[in-house]
Structure 1
Amino acid sequence: MIRNVLAAAVVVVLGGAVVAAELKSGPQVGAKVPGAFHPYNVNGEDAGKTACLYCKAGDSPAVMVFARTGDDAMTHKLLKALDAETVKNAKAEMYTFGIFQGDKAALEPQLKDAAKKADLKAVTLAIEDKEDPIPAKYNLSPEADVTVILYTDRVVKANYSFAKGKLSDKDISAIVQDVSKIVGK
């Protein structure tokens, strides 16, 4: 009987791990990116204004990062790594942007500081205020703290979703490696 209880516990724990690994957020591979929205840009050419980053990317290779908080060190590490890839792939006209969800008044100084500390050269950071959330058509999971969508020609080529605290260095390496799916080898 104890063996059966332990086996059931292992199944429940492993089942939970499978569910966590299968967290889906945002448009999935092969789907069209849902379209325009106008977040407040913290840096870049439209700093201090709302602008459609999806529109700016057009059909170019793009990485779109949605994050629920502006103070997560791993998210900032991801954006710094993607900034280096974006600079490296400038000839492919790669475009990368991070959209943070929350209170604009609280997030703006955090993100300005993060962009400066990371010395971001090509990644645009933006805020979608809690009063004007990211459009439902993007189908972002409330369980996903970070959602990363790599696309080109407005079609998703890779999608990564992470619960709070689950983004790791290994994940960042995998995402950076998948940039080749949108810019070619």
Structure 2
Amino acid sequence: MKNVSLLSLAIALAFVGSVSAKDALVSGPQEGDRIGAFYVTKCAGASDDGVEEGKNLCYRCKNGSRPQVMVFTRSTDAKVIDLVKKLDAAIGKNEDAQLKAFVNLMGDSKEDLNESAKDMAAKTKASHIPFVVPNEFENGPDNYGINAKAAVTVVMAGNAQVKASYAVADAKDLDVDAVVANLSKILQ
């Protein structure tokens, strides 16, 4: 009887695990995928990166194969602000590794996103991170497959390959510490 109960418990736990994995929000390129080029307009931030505000460029390309974090967000929630602050601090601490990051704001109106980017740059006081609006601003670059249901998608890459990916439907569910802990995957 004891073995039957343990077997039932094991099956129940396996079912719960498969449901949560099945229901996980997938957004953007996933671990092992190559990261492609996409164009953005710089709106604010990173005043010393050699790129003028208003310039259209590929930051992914500018960063090359260096370790980089690409944040795609529809939200300027406090959790997103916290994430950007922690990423900015990590960039300062990892200058030798040449860690880079940039924040892509997405939504319905390019003008509103431009203003949101400037507001977010001011709120975060990030000195190393540019705030940009992708040319494909509604859902981010087509070749990245950003899920329309994702409020925040974070892609971490090294050598132009995704090492970690994280997405949430609601910015309030963003586990900033878990995302920042994944930096170790690209700083090796």
TM class, shorter-chain normalised? 0.7 to 0.9
Per the alignment, residue 9 of structure 1 pairs with none
CA pair 165-135 structure 1, distance change in 2 beyond 3 A: closer
CA pair 72-166 structure 1, distance change in 2 beyond 3 A: closer
CA pair 26-130 structure 1, distance change in 2 beyond 3 A: closer
Residue 59 (structure 2) pairs with residue 53 (structure 1): yes
CA pair 131-148 structure 1, distance change in 2 beyond 3 A: closer
Per the alignment, residue 11 of structure 2 pairs with none
User: Normalization by structure 2: what TM-score?
Assistant: 0.80
Per the alignment, residue 41 of structure 1 pairs with 42
Per the alignment, residue 102 of structure 2 pairs with 97
Please, which runs of 5 or more residues in structure 2 have no aligned partner?
A: 1-15
Match for residue 27 of structure 1 among 17, 25, 29: 29
Alpha-carbon distance between aligned partners in 1 of 2:136 and 2:66, rounded to the nearest angstrom:
29
Q: Secondary structure at the match of 2:80?
A: helix
Alpha-carbon distance between aligned partners in 2 of 1:51 and 1:57, rounded to the nearest angstrom:
11
Per the alignment, residue 106 of structure 1 pairs with 112
Q: Secondary structure at the match of 2:173?
A: coil
CA pair 132-175 structure 1, distance change in 2 beyond 3 A: closer
Per the alignment, residue 12 of structure 2 pairs with none
State the Cα distance separating 1:48 from its structure 2 match.
1.6
1:116-155 per-residue CA deviation (whole Å, 9 max, x = no partner) reads: 2211111111012566753322111111111101110001
Per the alignment, residue 82 of structure 2 pairs with 77
Alpha-carbon distance between aligned partners in 2 of 1:16 and 1:151, rounded to the nearest angstrom:
28
Contact 1:38 1:50 in 2 (8 A): yes
CA pair 165-132 structure 1, distance change in 2 beyond 3 A: closer
Q: Secondary structure at the match of 1:90?
A: coil
Which amino acid counterpart does residue 103 of structure 2 have in structure 1? G
Contact 2:71 2:153 in 1 (8 A): yes
State the Cα distance separating 1:113 from its structure 2 match.
2.1
Match for residue 180 of structure 2 among 173, 176, 180: 176
Please, which runs of 5 or more residues in structure 1 have no aligned partner?
A: 1-13
Per the alignment, residue 159 of structure 2 pairs with 153
**Equivalenced residues, count:** 168
Of 105-114 and 150-159, deviating more is: 105-114
Taking only the aligned residue pairs, the percentage that are identical comes to 34
Alpha-carbon distance between aligned partners in 2 of 1:56 and 1:130, rounded to the nearest angstrom:
18
Contact 1:150 1:179 in 2 (8 A): yes
Alpha-carbon distance between aligned partners in 1 of 2:146 and 2:155, rounded to the nearest angstrom:
11
Of 78-87 and 125-134, deviating more is: 125-134
Contact 2:74 2:105 in 1 (8 A): yes
Which amino acid counterpart does residue 38 of structure 2 have in structure 1? F
